[in-house]
């Protein structure tokens, strides 16, 4: 069996009642809400991946058809924007039909959902390409504005969580390209990067760490987390890599400081509040993270951030991404530092031994045997 | 529990997962504390102390080992040959000693055994470099796999087996690449060997789990073996379709092997051991093959691609993947995944 972690609803309600989380009066509305929520089936990740591959291939075929057939002139920006708007409107209409009709469950519903997603993708690509053509692709921020416009229009009406994740992420990436490689902010690249990173970190924190946030807007938080990862990767690659995009040496320290503060904040959040940082194990963890911040390892801090949030939220995909990104960022760190090879290996061995010593300290203090932090 | 509530809307038949708990919390129907309480019931407790200690152990060992490797890489030319080999042999001995002291079935044992398997390969590579043995790459990988097979068997560790299987797969690939002439038979033969080799281990994994062995039981071990088989079958299928009409001997075998692999995966992981994740990987491979086959059919084997074909293919792709999604969704519902 491959059952997702779950328990019987009646058992959960009984346990909540016993533990005093739900009183007799509130039991009925909570039970009714469970029944309603159980009707909404959230597809697992592998279904989204399968759907995304199908949509990607179909979108390529449709775009190739439009290009070869000559139905749309790719020389006319206005025309492409108009066609893009038509496709988006069609996708929205299809989405509404899908959401309202009970008869579109099952295979018909899946086919319509695929068609909606593909129409949305074709429409967005045409609209953004048209905007770049119409306003001249050299004009700063055109791609960002166009992507933001289509995202704002479609986000409330599209039912696809994948589209809700990818569209805001595309907006963030477009803004990042403007800041880094198109010098849309002039010489203030460092400051703009810091502001950008602060904003995406704040969005990710606000939308992913609070249980009160409606599920519909959480993909924006994941997109912000993705943007954090993109910036972190750029910083971790160092001077020889993506920093050449900006044609100037960027200062990674503000990004590293924000990441360090974010990880310390996440540890406090997972523990139940900032005041908990005074407890010895958590104070040691915060000190260790701060030391890592000074070591200039933003990628490692970001991977630990993913692991911590993923572990706290019982979020398996986030934990898997965290585990996979940890060795990747370690390799990037090795290649990105302006140090001699000898200094690099000494730093690696030193930090490794420090961690193993910390492990020994945890064992002596008995912190590795506790059930809950 | 109030009988009226449990009778309401068939709640007895509903299973609550993390998504539903999150939705109730987001709507303010239950408190954050109630949400955490429910998540601890749904999934194992978080046990932060244990989790952090494991993370620190793995990270500390990885950093230290990486630092040692980089140190040797930096000073390579200045280190005498005997010291190079002795240092690696010492590391292997240290890994074996760690297993002997810690005992089997622990995280540190898995890490030490995996490190030992990797270090044997490093030893062979260094030996070959110092003494210029003239051995081909495939011989290095075959020797590596042969020498470390005992490690993997004795350790009974999924992590060590994963490393060993990766080495063995590279040995197969390099053996085909360096000892066989390029051609249709080469491509199909290489993929068939991988399918047979990984398939045998997948069958062994399922039999061991059935007989109560716990170390190969984690689900990732099944996925780790299944994905290379499906990738090999899909690539063989695409290659076959690409050269349709110019069939070599291997292609005739491929016509049997590729569908057999997909049908076997469907039967085993739908009927015998339901696993939606493996079925999803199977569905992706099957959908890609079907889509490509249709495109080749419509475009007369790739000789003509007109506007109409592109238009039809757009909808056909939506249909093929839509059907696959619908089927997987129904399987997921049936199995409660």
Look up the ipTM and state it: 0.75
Report CB contact under 8 Å: B332, A44. yes
Mean pLDDT of chain A: 83
Q: How far apart are CA B275 and CA B331, in angstroms?
A: 9
pLDDT at res. A1: 37
Q: Which helix (H) or strand (E) holds B167?
A: helix B158-179
Q: Which residues of A touch B67 (CB under 8 A)?
A: 345-350, 352
Mean pLDDT of chain B: 84
Residue to test with chain A: of B294, B295, B322, B333, most A Cβ within 10 A = B322
Average pLDDT value for residue range B27-53: 78
The pLDDT of residue A92 is above 90: no
Q: How far apart are CA A318 and CA A313, in angstroms?
A: 9
End-to-end CA distance of chain A: 32
In chain B, residues 58-77 whose CB comes closer than 8 Å to chain A: 59-68, 70-71, 73-75
Asked whether residue B59 is domain-assigned, the answer is no
pLDDT at res. A3: 43
Q: Which residues of B touch A65 (CB under 8 A)?
A: 307, 310-311, 314
> What are the tens digits of pLDDT across the range A207-246?
998 877 887 888 999 999 999 999 998 888 765 555 556 6
Whether B123 contacts B88, CB under 8 Å: yes
Q: How far apart are CA A130 and CA B129, in angstroms?
A: 58
Could you give the number of structural domains in chain B?
A: 2
pLDDT at res. A104: 52
In chain A, residues 79-138 whose CB comes closer than 8 Å to chain B: 106-107, 109-111, 113-115, 118
> What are the tens digits of pLDDT across the range A96-134?
777 766 555 567 777 788 888 889 999 999 999 999 989
Residue B314 is nearest to which of A58, A311, A341, comparing CB atoms? A58
Q: Which helix (H) or strand (E) holds B306?
A: none
Report CB contact under 8 Å: B35, A211. yes
Q: Which residues of B touch A30 (CB under 8 A)?
A: 24, 29-30
Q: How far apart are CA B117 and CA B97, in angstroms?
A: 14
Q: Does B9 touch chain A (CB under 8 A)?
A: yes
Segment of A317-321, B159-163, B198-202 carrying the highest mean pLDDT: B198-202
Asked whether residue B314 is domain-assigned, the answer is yes
Domain boundary residue, one of B46, B66, B83: B46
Which of A94-103, A156-165, A361-370, B293-302 has the lowest average pLDDT? Answer: A94-103
Asked whether residue B242 is domain-assigned, the answer is yes
B224: containing domain: 180-337
Q: Compare all CA atoms of chain B with the CA of A373 and give the residue at the minimum distance.
A: B48
Asked whether residue B324 is domain-assigned, the answer is yes
Asked whether residue B98 is domain-assigned, the answer is no
pLDDT at res. B3: 43
Report CB contact under 8 Å: B311, A65. yes
Q: How far apart are CA B201 and CA B240, in angstroms?
A: 26
For B311-321, b/e burial (b = at least 16 CB within 10 A) is bebbbbbbbbb
Nearest to residue B232, comparing CAs of B176, B296, B157? B176
DSSP B215: T
Asked whether residue B87 is domain-assigned, the answer is no
Whether A33 contacts B24, CB under 8 Å: yes
Which of A35-49, A196-210, B28-42, B307-321 has the lowest average pLDDT? Answer: A35-49
Q: Which residues of A touch B274 (CB under 8 A)?
A: 1-2
**Locus of tokens 């809400």:** A33
Phi/psi for B254 (5° steps) reads -60, -35
pLDDT tier, A87 (very low <50, low <70, confident <90, very high otherwise): very high
Q: Secondary structure of chain A in the HEC alphabet?
A: CCCCCEEEHHHHHHHHHHHCCCCHHHHHHHHHHHHHHHHCCCCCHHHHHHHHHHHHHHHHHHHHHHHHHCCCCCCCHHHHHHHHHHHHHHHHHHHHHHHHCHHHCCHHHHHHHHHHHHHHHHHHHHHHHHHHHHHCCCCCCHHHHHHHHHHHHHCCCCCCHHHHHHHHHHHHHHHHHHHHCCCCCCCCHHHHHHHHHHHHHHHHHHHHCCCCCCHHHHHHHHHHHHHHHHHHHHHHHCCCCHHHHHCCCCCCHHHHHHHHHHHHHHHHHHHCCHHHHHCHHHHHHHHHHHHHHHCCCHHHHHHHHHHHHHHHCCCHHHHHHHHHHHHHHHHHHHHHCCCCHHHHHHHHHHHHHHHHHHHHHHHHHCHHHCCCC
Nearest to residue A52, comparing CAs of B289, B235, B337, B324? B324
Residue B12 is nearest to which of A10, A363, A373, comparing CB atoms? A10
Residue A211 is nearest to which of B32, B50, B318, comparing CB atoms? B32
User: What is the rounded radius of gyration, in angstroms, for the C-alpha atoms of chain B?
Assistant: 26
Classify residue B254 as exposed, middle or buried by CB count within 10 Å of its CB (0-12, 13-18, 19+): buried
The two three-digit tokens of residue A90, written as one number: 């069609």
Q: How far apart are CA B255 and CA B250, in angstroms?
A: 9
Question: Quick one: B187 and B334 in the same domain?
Answer: yes
State the Cα angle at B105 between B104 and B107, rounded to 5°: 105
Whether A196 contacts A231, CB under 8 Å: yes
Question: Distance of CA A31 to CAs A26, A212, A335, B167, Å?
Answer: 9, 19, 55, 53
Average pLDDT value for residue range A69-89: 88
The two three-digit tokens of residue B287, written as one number: 């959908």
Q: Does B307 touch chain A (CB under 8 A)?
A: yes
Residue to test with chain A: of B270, B329, B331, B335, most A Cβ within 10 A = B329
**Locus of tokens 């993370």:** B55
Residue B56 is nearest to which of A30, A65, A358, comparing CB atoms? A358
Q: Which residues of A touch B49 (CB under 8 A)?
A: 281, 362, 367-371, 373
Residue B11 is nearest to which of A35, A68, A106, comparing CB atoms? A35
Phi/psi for B103 (5° steps) reads 85, 170
Q: How far is CA B236 from the centre of its chain?
A: 19
Residue B22 is nearest to which of A110, A215, A312, comparing CB atoms? A215
Q: How far apart are CA A13 and CA A9, in angstroms?
A: 6
pLDDT at res. A246: 61
How far A211 CA sits from the closest chain B CA (Å)?
A: 6
**Locus of tokens 């046990």:** B47
Q: How far apart are CA B216 and CA B259, in angstroms?
A: 27
The pLDDT of residue B1 is above 50: no
Asked whether residue B27 is domain-assigned, the answer is yes
pLDDT tier, A138 (very low <50, low <70, confident <90, very high otherwise): confident
B280 versus A107: the higher-pLDDT residue is: B280
Report CB contact under 8 Å: B17, A367. no
Question: Torsion-angle region of residue A273: left (phi > 0), alpha (psi -120 to 50) or beta?
Answer: left
pLDDT at res. A289: 85
Q: How far apart are CA A117 and CA A163, in angstroms?
A: 8
Q: How much is the pTM?
A: 0.77
Domain boundary residue, one of B27, B46, B65: B46
Average pLDDT value for residue range A5-22: 85
Asked whether residue B102 is domain-assigned, the answer is no
Q: Which helix (H) or strand (E) holds B270?
A: none
User: What is the rounded radius of gyration, in angstroms, for the C-alpha atoms of chain A?
Assistant: 24
What is the percentage of chain B residues whose pLDDT exceeds 70?
A: 92
pLDDT at res. A41: 62
């Amino acid at each position: 069996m491959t059952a997702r972690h779950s328990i019987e609803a009646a058992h959960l309600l009984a346990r909540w009642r016993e533990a005093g989380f739900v009183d007799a009066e509130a039991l009925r509305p909570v039970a009714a809400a469970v029944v309603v929520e159980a009707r909404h089936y959230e597809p697992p990740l592998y279904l989204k991946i399968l759907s995304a591959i199908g949509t990607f291939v179909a979108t390529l075929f449709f775009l190739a058809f439009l290009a070869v057939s000559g139905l749309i002139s790719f020389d006319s920006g206005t025309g492409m924007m108009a066609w893009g708007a038509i496709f988006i409107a069609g996708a929205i209409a299809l989405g509404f039909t899908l959401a309202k009709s009970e008869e579109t469950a099952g295979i018909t519903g899946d086919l319509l959902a695929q068609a909606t997603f593909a129409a949305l993708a074709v429409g967005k690509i045409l609209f953004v390409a048209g905007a770049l053509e119409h306003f001249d692709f050299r004009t700063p921020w055109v791609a960002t504005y166009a992507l933001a416009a289509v995202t704002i229009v479609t986000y409330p009406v599209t039912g696809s969580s994948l589209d809700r994740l990818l569209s805001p992420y595309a907006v963030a990436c477009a803004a990042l390209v403007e800041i880094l490689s198109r010098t849309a902010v002039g010489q203030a690249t460092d400051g703009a990067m810091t502001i950008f990173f602060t904003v995406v970190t704040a969005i990710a924190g606000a939308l992913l760490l609070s249980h009160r946030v409606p599920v519909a807007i959480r993909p924006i938080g994941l997109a912000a987390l993705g943007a954090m990862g993109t910036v972190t990767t750029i910083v971790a690659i160092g001077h020889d890599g993506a920093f050449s995009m900006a044609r100037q040496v960027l200062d990674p320290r503000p990004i590293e400081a924000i990441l360090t503060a974010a990880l310390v904040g996440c540890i406090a959040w997972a523990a139940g509040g900032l005041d908990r940082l005074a407890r010895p194990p958590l104070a040691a963890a915060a000190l260790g993270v701060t030391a890592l911040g000074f070591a200039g390892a933003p990628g490692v801090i970001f991977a630990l951030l993913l692991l911590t949030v993923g572990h706290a939220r019982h979020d398996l995909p986030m934990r898997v991404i965290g585990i996979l990104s940890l060795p990747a960022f370690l390799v990037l760190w090795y290649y990105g530092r302006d140090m001699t090879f000898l200094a690099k290996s000494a730093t690696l061995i030193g930090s490794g031994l420090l961690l193993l010593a910390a492990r020994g300290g945890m064992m002596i203090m008995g912190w590795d045997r506790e059930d809950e932090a | 529990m109030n009988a009226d509530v449990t009778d309401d809307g068939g709640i007895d038949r509903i299973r609550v997962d993390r998504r539903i708990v999150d939705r109730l919390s987001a709507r303010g129907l239950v408190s954050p504390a109630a949400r955490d309480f429910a998540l601890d019931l749904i999934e194992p407790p978080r046990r932060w102390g244990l989790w952090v200690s494991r993370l620190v152990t793995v990270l500390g060992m990885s950093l230290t080992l990486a630092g040692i490797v980089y140190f040797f890489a930096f000073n390579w030319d200045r280190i005498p040959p005997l010291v190079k080999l002795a240092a690696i042999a010492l590391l292997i001995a240290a890994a074996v000693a760690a297993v002997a002291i810690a005992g089997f079935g622990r995280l540190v044992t898995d890490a030490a055994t995996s490190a030992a398997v990797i270090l044997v390969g490093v030893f062979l590579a260094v030996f070959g470099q110092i003494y210029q043995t003239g051995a081909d790459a495939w011989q290095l990988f075959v020797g590596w796999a042969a020498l470390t097979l005992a490690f993997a068997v004795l350790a009974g560790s999924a992590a060590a087996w994963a490393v060993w299987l990766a080495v063995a797969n590279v040995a197969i690939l390099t053996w085909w690449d360096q000892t066989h002439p390029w051609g249709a038979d080469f491509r199909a033969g290489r993929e068939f060997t991988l399918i047979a080799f990984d398939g045998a281990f997948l069958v062994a994994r399922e039999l061991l789990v059935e007989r109560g062995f716990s170390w190969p039981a984690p689900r990732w071990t099944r996925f780790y073996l299944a994905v290379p088989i499906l990738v090999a079958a899909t690539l063989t299928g695409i290659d076959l379709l690409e050269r349709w009409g110019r069939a070599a001997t291997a292609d005739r075998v491929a016509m049997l092997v590729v569908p057999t692999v997909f049908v076997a995966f469907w039967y085993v992981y739908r009927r015998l051991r339901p696993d939606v994740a493996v079925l999803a990987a199977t569905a992706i491979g099957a959908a890609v093959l079907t889509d490509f086959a249709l495109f080749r059919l419509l475009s007369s084997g790739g000789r003509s691609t007109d506007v109409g074909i592109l238009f039809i293919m757009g909808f056909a792709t939506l249909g093929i993947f839509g059907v696959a999604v619908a089927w997987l969704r129904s399987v997921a519902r049936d199995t409660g995944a």
